[in-house]
Chain A
Amino acid sequence: MNFKRDIATRTYSGFAIAALLILTILNILLQIGPPDIQRAGDQLLAMSADDGVANAVTSVVVYFRGFDTLGEIAVLFIAALGIGLMLSAHNRTTHEESNYILKKASRMLFPMIMLFGVYVMIYGHLSPGGGFQGGVIVASGVLLLLISREEFEVPHSVISALETFAGISYVLIGLIGLLVVDKFLGNFLPNNISQMGMLFSGGVIPLIYIVVGIKVGSEMSMIVQNLIQRSDDD
C-alpha cells in the first residue's frame, strides 16, 4: 500500500498510534507495584572499596567492565572512519574571514578550554568526569580554533599517530595484565587502600582512562574537522 505522507493522513494516524501506544505502555507500567530490587551494585560497591579508587563509576567502566569500553572505542573508531571516508573528498578552500571579536576572544578562551579538558581527563578517578568527557571537551576547544582562524588545519599525521598510540597501548596494558596477574586488564601496579583520594592511586585505572581520553579526543577532532565547511561554494 502506498502510504504517502500527506498532511491530514499523517497527522491523524500519527496521533492515533502514539495515543494507543501511550495507553498500552502506561497500563502495563502502572500496575507493577514498587519492585523488590535486588541490587548487584551492593556487592560491587563492597568490592570497589578494595581497589582504592574514589569514583565507583570509573572503576566499573574501566576495571570491572573494561572489555565493554574496548568495544565502545571500536565503535567510535568505525564511526569516525565512515565519516572520514565520505566527507574528506571535497576540497576545502578558505574564502571568508572570520569575525574580529571571535578572533580576539578565542585567543583567551582556547587555553582555558584545553586546560579544563585535560583536568577532567586526569582527575577521572577522584571526581565526576573521566576520559570520554575530557576528550569531547578537548575536541570542542579544537573546534573553536577551527572556526576562528582560516588557515588552521588539524595535522593529519599527528592525529593519526596519537590515535594509533592510544589504541595500541590500551590492548598492551590488557596483555601485560594477562601476563602478570592472569587476568586481561588486571591491576598490576601497586594500589594501596591507604592512598584513596590521592592523585596516584588505583594502580592502572587512571592510566587506562587517560589513554581512552586521548583516543576519544583525537577522533572527535577529526570528525569535527571533516564536517566543517569553509567556503560557500562546494
Chain B
Amino acid sequence: MTGIIILFSFLAVILVAFMSIIQKSLPDAIILFMGVGLGAVVLFFVFQAPDVALTEAVIGSGISTLIFLMALKHLKAEHEL
C-alpha cells in the first residue's frame, strides 16, 4: 500500500512542478509551486518523518508563498516578459 502512495505522490509532484515552471502568468506559477510543497508534505508523512513534514508544511505553504506574492506586488509583474 505504501508503494502505490509513493508512486502517485511522486507523479503528482513532478507534474505540478513541471507545469509551474512552464506557466506564463506569474500568480498561477506561485500557486502551483505551493502545490509542490504540499505534495512533499504527503511524501514526508509516508516516509515516517513528522517533524520534517510539519516544518515543510509551515514554511513551504506559509512563508515561502507569501514572500513570493509580496515580491510580485513590488515588481508589478502579472505576466512574464
Residues of A within 8 A of B (CB): 55, 57, 120, 128-130, 132-133, 136-137, 139-140, 143, 220, 223-224, 227-229, 234
Contacts and interface: CB of A to CB of B under 8 A. Distances in A.
Size category, B interface: 10 to 19
B73 A229 contact: yes
Contact of A132 (B55, B62, B66): B55
A137 B58 contact: yes
Contacts of A220: 63
Given A136-B59, A140-B62, A229 B51 contact: no
**Chain A: interface secondary structure?**
helix
Given A228-B70, A229-B70, A130 B59 contact: no
B50 A140 contact: no
Nearest to A124: B51
B15 interface: no
B66 A224 contact: yes
A136 B62 contact: yes
Interface string B43-81: 000000011011100110011001100110110000000
Contacts of B67: 223, 227
